[in-house]
Amino acid sequence: MRKLKAVDFFCGAGGLSYGLTLAGIKVIAGIDIEEECKDTYETNNPKSKFIPSDIKELTYEQLEKLKVKRNDDFMIFAGCSPCQHWTQIQTDKKKSLKTKYLLKDFQKFVSYFMPGFVVIENVRGILSKKDESKLTSFLAFLRRKGYDADYGIIDAMHYGVPQRRKRFLLIASRVHKEIKLPEADKGNVLRVKDFLGVDNGFARIGAGHVDQTDFLHTTGRLSDKNIRRLKLTPHDGGTRLAWKNDPELQINAYKDKDNTYKDTYGRMFWGKPAPTITTKFHSISNGRFAHPNEDRGLSLREGATLQTFTKTYVFKGSGIGSIARQIGNAVPPELARRIGINLLGAGGSES
């Protein structure tokens, strides 16, 4: 059997590579400009080569040395680029200008190597601003090159991931006509309680707990005032409205603005999917990231578990913020695994 193989551009901590590997696809290399991801990627994806490079400086020869060939019908190029510039989350867009047109840089490698398959996962903004993001021109390029493509907005909670995570997903192929996105499983939505809690191997801990083991059940520190706020926040989905009338605890920016950023300082619900796990999931001031019933934010391992990383996946970084960024930026491995299975079913092997 000849099996599919892949190159993972913008690989980060390796969520996509890991998921594709679980599906039975050989990942030849992962490429990322962030060298802080190198140790994490290589530790968990030992059969893949990590290439620390800016895609603008990456050469065709670097891939050819890894036996990446042109016009390989069994090759996948995955381009899940950093998406800060197109995210709908309020961020400083000036900081993300360098990532604005990474799709165009990725297109250069697709054009040269002409892989059998192309996969792109990104934030929804890349579609809603498709002219500015260069998606329109990329789709036209795929058509000119003979690729058939299917794309749209999917929610990871319909693909075995216990969080609401809406993303743009594109799958294209020049060797398999009428290619389709993986089918959504809307009848089996997973919940926080299916993954977190004592029954799922997470001991009760407090804010600021440091786990020196690779399990990394480590939480961010909280001020005394924030701990007081959480103690007043009802378990299982409570919000900051519980202490809005306390003049000492209420936050000035939220006075008389109950519907502004209403999830900040909120607790997750046990019986619902988690909110999108972002790069700031360890901070309760950045979303509904407080534990359902413990007075703390999520631990690093809890965030990784909600991203569907296995509990044995090892994260290495300079601190809690570095590792949280790796986790939040990752493609959920279970979503990646289902993408891989879909590609294999679309003609990814032959006898």
Catalytic residue numbers, as ranges: 83
Q: Which residues contact 101 (CB under 8 A, 6 or more apart)?
A: 133, 134
State which H helix or E strand residue 342 sits in.
helix 333-345
Q: Which residues contact 324 (CB under 8 A, 6 or more apart)?
A: 279, 280, 281, 282, 300, 303
Looking up tokens 């799922």 gives 200
* Residues 88/123, Cβ–Cβ less than 8 Å: yes
Q: Which residues make beta-bridge pairs with 26? A: 5
Nearest to 241 by CA among 272, 218, 262, 221: 262
Strands (E), the chain: 5-9, 26-32, 49-52, 75-79, 117-122, 148-155, 166-173
In whole angstroms, what is the distance from residue 60 CA to residue 241 CA? 55
- Sign of CA pseudo-dihedral 122, 125, 128, 133: negative
